[in-house]
Structure 1
């Protein structure tokens, strides 16, 4: 595991909230309880403890024990919010974190290279893997009929493209 992989991005500080040094954070995790009071976060790789949490739509407002004023909070604006990789929750078999899939090579059943996963779109019915495909992009539905195998050790996703997927 490289230095960058030792930390997992779970949010981004959007700005200051109020005069007491609250922070408005864009949430980038499927586990919003990571922002509950009492939890520890890394902001700019420095540890902070959450003392209070409230939600504003899809964003969280946190107050940190170590930040008591607006000036100190402003210094964190734009910073990444992370957790140590060791704090990751274990997922069920066949379920992956986005960071595990981004960068994997996509091939078809015959071993022909299609591209590399660049992004994952989280849609209501299923996720979509956005893969480079020559000068274009392929939008690959993350469903069993299409995605046949994900092998993290080999860095590979094998798909059985449905008609029109790669046109």
Structure 2
């Protein structure tokens, strides 16, 4: 099974290093020297990691055969893909690989069906479940412990305790309407 473990950013310096947006909780395992990674687009790779280091909080990698800034810049926005055993699981029981979460049924704590996880979006601040509802619409659910209270891989479900308005837009109270109501009482 293939997992995206990083995305190449801009070139760093003149000797072929690139910044990498890490998309794995195990960078030391997946992005260490000697690792051979497939790429998306496929024609760019495979790439072999020659060296890596952290500089100002960012991971910098150098790949075999990429020796200058021009070659490094040509790799920009390339996804790095690692081959992973589908039965492998993260060491931390509170962590999951995307393939473990895809297609899980999503239900609320009181048992109401929300839908099925169709996609996982990795954003800088948090991950989002893109959940396809039975009617074909989609809802985005932040993958944070306050909202996603349980992941049960045996039962193939994710249990959510959504705040008011997350799942039903008509229940959401828009901030501007709250402010208007407060302004009415001030006169």
TM-score bracket, normalised by the shorter chain, equals 0.5 to 0.7
Name whichever of 111-120 and 75-84 sits farther off: 111-120
Give the 3 Å change call, closer, same or farther, for CA 94–32 of structure 1 in structure 2: closer
Contact 2:130 2:138 in 1 (8 A): no
Per-residue deviation, 1:21: 1.4
Contact 1:11 1:80 in 2 (8 A): yes
Q: How many residues align?
A: 156
User: Equivalent of 1:12, from 7, 16, 19?
Assistant: 7
Aligned to 2:108: 108
TM-score, normalised to structure 1's length?
0.67
Contact 2:34 2:50 in 1 (8 A): yes
Consecutive unaligned residues of structure 1, counting only runs of 5 or more, are 1-5
Give the 3 Å change call, closer, same or farther, for CA 53–86 of structure 1 in structure 2: same
Structure 1 residue 147 and structure 2 residue 154: aligned? Answer: no
Give the 3 Å change call, closer, same or farther, for CA 95–24 of structure 1 in structure 2: closer
Equivalence map 1:87-126=2 (5 Å): 90-92=89-91, 95-108=95-108, 111-117=111-117, 118-119=120-121
- The structure in which a higher percent of residues are helix is 2
User: Equivalent of 1:36, from 16, 32, 36?
Assistant: 32
**Which of structures 1 and 2 has the bigger CA Rg?**
2
The CA distance in 1 between the partners of 2:129 and 2:64, in whole Å, is 40
The CA distance in 1 between the partners of 2:156 and 2:69, in whole Å, is 44
Aligned to 2:51: 52
TM-score, normalised to structure 2's length?
0.61
Per-residue deviation, 1:64: 1.1
- The structure in which a higher percent of residues are strand is 1
Per-residue deviation, 1:43: 3.0
Report the aligned-residue RMSD.
3.6
